[in-house]
Amino acid sequence: MEGVVVALFSEGSVLLEGPPGLGKTLLVNVLARTVSCHFRRIQFTPDLMPSDLTGHSVYDMKEQEFHFKPGPIFTNLLLTDEINRSPPKTQSALLEVMQERQVTADGKSYRLRRPFLVLATQNPLEHEGTYPLPEAQIDRFMFKLLVDYPSIEEEGEILGHYAAGRDPRDLSGFDLNPVMRAEDVIAVQEATGKVIVETSILRYITEIVAKTRSWHSVLVGASPRGSVNLLIASRVLAACRGRNFVVPDDVKEVAPWVLRHRLILRSEAEIEGERPDGVVGQILDSVTAPRS
Amino acid sequence: MDTAASETPMTLPRVAELFEKTRAEVAKVIVG
């Protein structure tokens, strides 16, 4: 949950991966209510076209000209459910817009709202009828967060909501109050830019990312975009923890969120059971953290 | 939403406060 809030404060998009029924969609619904901002949800399906997302031009018979009809992407928080169910053409359209924060149609550019972030869900268990996101495009997600099954205690809490007559399908029973507005998210980003990042922390980040490119079990490591996101996320986390400076533990905490989807492991390493999170952990252990 | 609070200048302590408040609101529904 913390990762999603840090992503929101960083205006960074998130890929949420986990089996169905774990509340990924509910989490985004709740977040949209907590931050009083515009929210749209779109279910990715095999027949979803890029213009279904971005919008399209409609001919106005009366004025005898085309008018652009904006698609659901013109929002603050966009939930794209099961992103890997749509073909690469539609995925690419979304991921390009995520990068450029504008839609170009008929030679005209239309800016998206700010803040703009995509919260995409995908189910790792099903492969039939899915189109895996290309590695180059998955890099555009600031974080990949894994949603796992709840512990017995947590599952008890979930049942407790239902036992008390509160059904998450109707959030009115949960007394949710918005705590900030869309413009506050932009102000948060500006404020976190004041968090001090010592040169030693910058070097720590670059050493970690450089190691992802030369690590024995990694075929392709993280891009410079990975370094930048590691820096931004560490800075935001430091501010969320009430500090005006980044410590190595901030970098270590966000590193799996930022790096796990940016590593392509060698096939022999995968066969031996290596996983990106394990590799990120090994790399963090191998780089000496600066003294804070 | 507390309008007065939202008009408070965005300082780093305010960021930490908003983080805690957002987390607390989300935790009303989301477990874990």
pTM of the model: 0.89
Nearest to A238 by CA among A224, A253, A219, A228: A253
The lowest-confidence range among A140-149, A163-172, A226-235, A275-284 is A163-172
**Residue of B15, B16, B23 with shortest CB distance to A2:** B23
How far apart CA A171 and CA B30 sit, in angstroms, is 11
Please, which pLDDT band fits residue B6 given cuts at 50, 70 and 90?
Answer: low
Q: What is the ipTM of this complex?
A: 0.85
pLDDT score at A155: 84
- With an 8 Å Cβ cutoff, are A150 and B27 in contact? no
A25: closest CA of chain B, how far (Å): 11
Whether chain A has a CB inside 8 Å of the CB on B1: the answer is yes
Chain A segment 11-30 residues within 8 A of B by beta carbon are 23, 26-27, 30
**Residue of B12, B14, B18 with shortest CB distance to A244:** B12
How far apart CA A259 and CA A37 sit, in angstroms, is 29
Whether chain A has a CB inside 8 Å of the CB on B8: the answer is no
The lowest-confidence range among A81-85, A217-221, A262-266 is A81-85
Q: For an interface test with A, which of B6, B7, B26 has the most A Cβ atoms less than 10 Å from its Cβ? A: B26
How far apart CA A213 and CA A201 sit, in angstroms, is 19
A254: closest CA of chain B, how far (Å): 16
Please, which pLDDT band fits residue A133 given cuts at 50, 70 and 90?
Answer: confident
How far apart CA A229 and CA A143 sit, in angstroms, is 8
Whether chain A has a CB inside 8 Å of the CB on B4: the answer is no
Whether chain B has a CB inside 8 Å of the CB on A290: the answer is no
How far apart CA A8 and CA A2 sit, in angstroms, is 10
Q: What angle do CA A230, A278, A83 make, to 5 degrees?
A: 65
Model pLDDT for residues A23-45, shown as the tens digit of each residue: 888 888 888 888 888 889 999 88
Pick the residue with more confidence: A257 or A129? A257
- With an 8 Å Cβ cutoff, are B25 and A242 in contact? no
Q: Residue B21: its chain A contacts at CB < 8 A?
A: 179-180
B20: closest CA of chain A, how far (Å): 8
If phi > 0 it is left, if psi is from -120 to 50 it is alpha, else beta; for residue A55 that is: left
What are the structural domains, with CATH classification, of chain A?
A: 2-188 (3.40.50.300), 193-286 (1.10.8.80)
DSSP string, A161-209: HHHTT--TTSGGGG-----EEHHHHHHHHHHHTTSB--HHHHHHHHHHH
Please, which pLDDT band fits residue A157 given cuts at 50, 70 and 90?
Answer: confident
pLDDT score at A232: 97
**Residue of B10, B13, B25 with shortest CB distance to A188:** B10
Beta bridge partners of A181: A36
Pick the residue with more confidence: A227 or B7? A227
- Asked if the model's pLDDT at residue B7 lies above 70, the reply is no
How far apart CA B18 and CA B5 sit, in angstroms, is 10
Model pLDDT for residues A59-106, shown as the tens digit of each residue: 888 888 888 898 999 999 999 988 888 888 888 888 888 888 888 877
Tokens standing for A75?
């929002």
Chain A segment 76-135 residues within 8 A of B by beta carbon are none
- Asked if the model's pLDDT at residue A292 lies above 70, the reply is no
Model pLDDT for residues A242-258, shown as the tens digit of each residue: 999 999 999 999 999 99
Contact between residue B18 and residue A195 where contact means Cβ atoms under 8 Å apart = no
Nearest to A166 by CA among A1, A30, A21: A30
- With an 8 Å Cβ cutoff, are B25 and A34 in contact? yes
Contact between residue A276 and residue A263 where contact means Cβ atoms under 8 Å apart = yes
Beta bridge partners of A121: A16
